[in-house]
Chain A
Amino acid sequence: MLEIKNIKKSFGALPVLKGVDLQVNQGDVVAIIGPSGSGKTTLLRCINYLETADDGTMVFDDESFQMQKVSKRDVARLRKKTAFVFQNYNLFQNKTALQNVTEGLIVARKIPKAKAVQIGKQALDKVGLSDRYDYYPSQLSGGQQQRVAIARAIATNPEIIFFDEPTSALDPELTGEVLSVMRELAKEGMTMLVVTHEMNFAKTVSNKVIFMENGCVVESGDSREFFEHPKEERTKAFLQTIHDTMSLAS
């Protein structure tokens, strides 16, 4: 459904992505993990054209695109089939929770307002915010804001949702409520590409893992296989560090 080949991106003289391949099939939950600065977020942003890649091809729904020269029209079309959840939520500050969800439906997809409101309420109900329709983002906790952002994402009925470190700005308790919503989505078969530091999520929810470092994919594959029998030395070292940190914490 989504296939990326040889994506490259530099910021000035600094290469951030050095030829990354990626494949997502329908119903996949793919976790992209790796140390900070490895290019995970940039990869995700290039896939949704928030950054323009220097090179690479994308196949989405059997349609092929040259990533460095995609027309505005194609970008707009692609974005309407996808959704993006940001690390810092990026809810529209001047809109209520419900308006945040309906805005993209009414304005971008020309869905009649009454219908959009109905879809919006359903989406908010689903993430457990049926009592927060008319709250502004500034009146919501971080976890609630991120759940509104997820409601905004699912309301458009996207083919895939991109998550950029969706829990990194949240404390552990709030992280839990966001992860459980994502777990629900995964169960329902939503296709998701998730940049995350939550190893537990990568381990238990995702079915595929991609481990990145220095702009390259070090290792990727089936989640269980990845965590139980990592092949690369670098992956083993990374998982060991995380394991040690976790046992220190507990």
Chain B
Amino acid sequence: MVGSRLWELFLDSFGKILLPGLTVTIPLTILAFSLALVIAVIAALVQFANIKGFQQIARFYIWIFRGTPLLVQLFVVFYGLSRVGLVLEPFPAAVLVFSLNEGAYCAETIRAALEAVPSGQLEAGYCAGMSYLQTIRRIILPQAMRTAFPPLSNSLIAMVKDTSLAANITVTEMFMVTQRIVARTYEPLLLYLEVGLIYLMFSTVLTKLQRIGEKKLQTYAHKGG
């Protein structure tokens, strides 16, 4: 029976695809996204605070990484840089590129959120005797991160899926493992649907986490009226 053979293949490969999902895709995502957030907060703050020089650097960085394809960036860093003697292992190369790429997008998200905090909050901080940095850190940034939470969750979910591009620089993540199984079994429809399903599972978990997170942040949400 064709049906039972496919079903067996499905079950058999499920664990094989899920495993690199847990050991590569998820660590890659967590590492890269954490770094991306750090980069993004810095790039957003230097723009928000109008720090001369740094502001231009941040804009230039965002311009480059938003303006070129992610796949091209992966190739430049992994294959290209080895030409000038900078040889990176696949996984660190992927972390580097994903964090820089995502950082550029998240920087704009966070900058917009910083600018959405009413200017009276900063003035109130001054009048309470706090310095600019103290007010930013304790009052403005926490409020901005609350505003930025839904779009940042969006970016995180997008990144989980984008990590499949790392297969192109020989990172043995879920998609590469799936391709290998396809090459052996000639069942592309089943297996690519299967890996898609696993990505969907990951995204679903993140969507749920986003809901929970938003509810927690809701405590001091602005209400109308």
Instruction: Specify which of A86, A94, A108 is in contact with B120 (CB 8 Å cutoff).
Output: A86
Interface size on B, residues (CB 8 A): 23
Interface SS, B side? helix
Residue of B121, B126, B130, B131 touching A93 (CB-CB under 8 A): B121
Set of chain B residues within 8 Å of A95, measured between Cβ atoms: 139, 220
Q: Which of B55-97 contact A (CB under 8 A)?
A: none
Q: Does A137 reach chain B (CB closer than 8 Å)?
A: yes
Cβ-defined contact, B222 with A103, below 8 A: no
List, in ascending order, chain A residues with CB within 8 A of B118's CB: 90
B216 within 8 A of A: no
Asked, given contacts A50-B123, A86-B120, A108-B134, whether A94 binds B128 with beta carbons under 8 Å apart, the answer is no
Q: Report chain B residues within 8 Å CB of A83.
A: 127-128
**Quick one: given A107-B138, A138-B220, A138-B221, are A90 and B129 in contact (CB under 8 Å)?**
no
Q: Per-residue 0/1 for B109-132: is the Cβ within 8 Å of any A Cβ (1 yes, 0 no)?
A: 000000000101101111111110
Q: Is the CB of B220 within 8 A of A107?
A: no
Q: Does A30 contact B (CB under 8 A)?
A: no
Whether B123 and A108, one on each chain, are in contact in the complex, defined by CB atoms closer than 8 angstroms, is no
Decide yes or no whether B143 CB sits under 8 A from chain A.
yes
Q: Are A92 and B129 in contact (CB under 8 A)?
A: no
**Residues of the A chain whose Cβ atoms lie less than 8 Å from the Cβ of B143:** 93-94
Q: Which of B118-162 contact A (CB under 8 A)?
A: 118, 120-121, 123-131, 134, 138-139, 142-143, 146
Task: Judge whether A90 and B120 touch: CB under 8 Å.
Answer: yes
Once bound together, how far apart are the Cα atoms of A137 and B129, in whole Å? Answer: 20
B208 part of interface (Cβ distance < 8 Å): no
| Interface positions of A from 106 to 148, Cβ below 8 Å from B | 107-109, 136-138
Given A94-B142, A94-B146, decide whether A80 and B129 contact each other with a Cβ distance below 8 A: yes
Smallest CB gap from A49: residue in B: B126
Within 8 A of B (CB), among A70-95: 76, 79-80, 82-84, 86, 88, 90-95
Is B222 a contact of A88 with CB atoms below 8 Å? no
A80 to B127, CA, bound (A): 8
A48-B127, A103-B139, A108-B134 given; 18 more Cβ-contact pairs under 8 Å: A83-B127, A84-B123, A86-B123, A90-B123, A93-B143, A93-B222, A94-B142, A94-B146, A107-B128, A107-B130, A107-B134, A108-B129, A109-B129, A136-B220, A137-B220, A138-B220, A156-B128, A156-B129
